[in-house]
Structure 1
Amino acid sequence: MASSDKEISYSNLKDLLAKGSGLLVDVRTKDEVDRGHIPGSIHIPVENVESDMSLDTAEFQSKFGVVKPSLDSSELVFYCQMGKRGALATEKARSLGFKNARNYAGGYKEWSEKGGK
């Protein structure tokens, strides 16, 4: 079901973040995010992905403090704890036209285990 172009690996994510580019979106609950998140990520709960990713650029910037990615951005990545909600969020974003949105399937669990904190 998951095709490789819809997922990003731990090492590729590290590279993306090291470049300081891309937008990483944590789609877990606020409680989960409060316990730890990947640095530089913004928080959009999975149930809000469609509405928040549909905001115009000014509203998005004002709400999240970051520039909204373009529809063809290859640097839009969603993640959750284990990958399932991230995949759902990726599908939602793709249905809105973010055709290169990807899911970090390893999620925060893998990030933490690999010492990415």
Structure 2
Amino acid sequence: MLSFHYSLRPIITTMKSQLNACLLFERKYILYTKRTYSEKETLESTMVDPKRVVSYDDMLKIIYQPEKMIIDVREPEEIQSTGQIPSSINIPLKSVHEALDCMSEEDFRCLYCREKPALSDELIFYCKTGRRSTIALNQALKLGYVNSKNYLGSWTEWSKKSKLH
């Protein structure tokens, strides 16, 4: 069972023998997994400012706010086998930079059936467990999307909690 708490205390949770942790370091959350990444990738891609973290309760409201763009960065095959958060669009992690930076507004609209977001629009990224969405968040911030956020609970939390409602 994977859970995320949005507090200033470090937490560690376990899911199917894969260690996942969300620790507070220099007032930023850092996600860790048993997978091995280069030190540079880990430091750059796993630090999340707590102000950029969206909770499950926040997501319950955001799905009804069409001006906010919810982006699922999992691969299409993952979504086909599990489903996705309502009103989200799928832009796989490997395509996020190109879609947000290089793609024309017309191409974006044709491919994702949504207007390409402006730099000031609110983007909310999620994946399965929060790691890939953290990478996507950092890419968006580097491109100037200043209102980007991350749903750290991601699909794992959503699929569990949405069954309770």
- 2: CA distance between counterparts of 1:108 and 1:18? 18
Aligned position for 1:18? 64
Aligned position for 1:88? 135
Describe the SS at the equivalent of 2:63: helix
Deviation at 1:83, TM superposition (A): 0.4
Greater strand content: 2
Structure showing greater Rg: 2
Runs of 4+ displaced beyond 3 Å: none
Aligned position for 2:10? none
Alignment of 1:1-117 (within 5 A): 1=28, 2-35=48-81, 36-54=83-101, 55-73=103-121, 75-115=122-162
- 2: CA distance between counterparts of 1:5 and 1:52? 25
Q: Which structure is higher in RCO with an 8 Å CA cutoff and minimum separation 6?
A: 1
What TM-score results when the alignment is normalised by the length of structure 2?
Answer: 0.66
Deviation at 1:30, TM superposition (A): 1.5
5+ residue gaps, structure 1: none
C-alpha deviations, 1:60-86, integer Å up to 9, x for none? 11111101111011x211100010000
Describe the SS at the equivalent of 1:51: helix
- 2: CA distance between counterparts of 1:105 and 1:48? 20
Q: Which amino acid aligns with 1:64?
A: Y
Give RMSD over aligned pairs.
1.5
| Count of paired positions | 116
What TM-score results when the alignment is normalised by the length of structure 1?
Answer: 0.91
C-alpha deviations, 1:14-67, integer Å up to 9, x for none? 111123331111101121111211121111110111001121222211111101
5+ residue gaps, structure 2: 1-27, 29-47
